[in-house]
Amino acid sequence: MIIPCIDLQDGKVVQLVQGERKVLEAAPPLEMLERFAGFAEIQVIDLDAAMGIGDNSAIVEQLCARASCRVGGGVRTAERAKQLLELGAHRVIVGTAAFTPELSRIVDAVDKEKLVIALDSKNGTVVIKGWTESTTSKAEEIICTLEPLCGGFLCTYVDKEGMMQGTDLEWFARLRAATTNEITAAGGITTLDDIRALAAMNIHSAVGMAVYTGRLSLAELRAL
């Protein structure tokens, strides 16, 4: 499955490099959603919520009313997870909270199949809090312990995020070998060959920068 991404910041659709530097603003959220018509699922990340500087809940609700959306960004409590489901999210993405005691409350509050755990790797270890803080954990080592708690994983190779230099297929292969749960890959996916290689591993692709810059054609992605 190919999953287009809508990243929200200050009410706008943006693309960042490695979660830090904004390099473009796209069309308004609902217009981008229309462009992504025909894809089974859309990934919506509230960057303001992830960074703890606000949220874009009204826009998230509008998007979820019109498409099947997995939503993440700042989901650090069971209450926030439930709020996103009430706003219409098809699935909820949890990152930082997966490394806190709050995870057990979220698991109790949310149907396992609706919970996606984000394992974002930078310089070899998992990063949290909007990719601003490093942990001592390697994604490929802890993924099996989190497997019983969720319906799938969103694994971002932050080192290549937004850089359009390709991704680390060997890293994703190690993740695939470590879990039977669904995996969605993100970070540096640039070409149709990247997507085909991931699909051969039974891994979904979340695509962002390459789509927004025209490097990947939506028509070609639909054809896949």
- Close Cβ partners of 162 (under 8 Å, ≥ 6 residues apart): 15, 16, 17, 18, 23, 188, 208, 209
| 111 annotated active-site | no
Q: Report the relative pairing of strands 182-186 and 204-207 from DSSP bridges.
A: parallel
Q: Which of 46, 48, 55, 120 is catalytic?
A: 120
The yes-or-no answer on residue 7 being catalytic is yes
Distance CA 100, CA 79 (A): 15
Runs of H (alpha helix) within 36-157: 47-50, 57-66, 78-86, 102-109, 139-146
Q: Which of 57, 100, 60, 59 is nearest to 78 (CA)?
A: 100
Between the alpha carbon of residue 118 and those of residues 10, 96, 219, the distances in Å are 22, 8, 28
Q: What is the DSSP secondary structure assignment for residue 115, as one 8-state letter?
A: E
CA dihedral 174, 186, 123, 173 (to 10 degrees): 10
Out of 7, 46, 48, 194, the active site residue is 7
Give yes or no for a contact between 25 and 53, defined as CB atoms under 8 angstroms apart.
no
The two three-digit tokens of residue 196, written as one number: 């085909």
Strand partners, 205: 2, 185
Catalytic annotation, residues = 7, 120
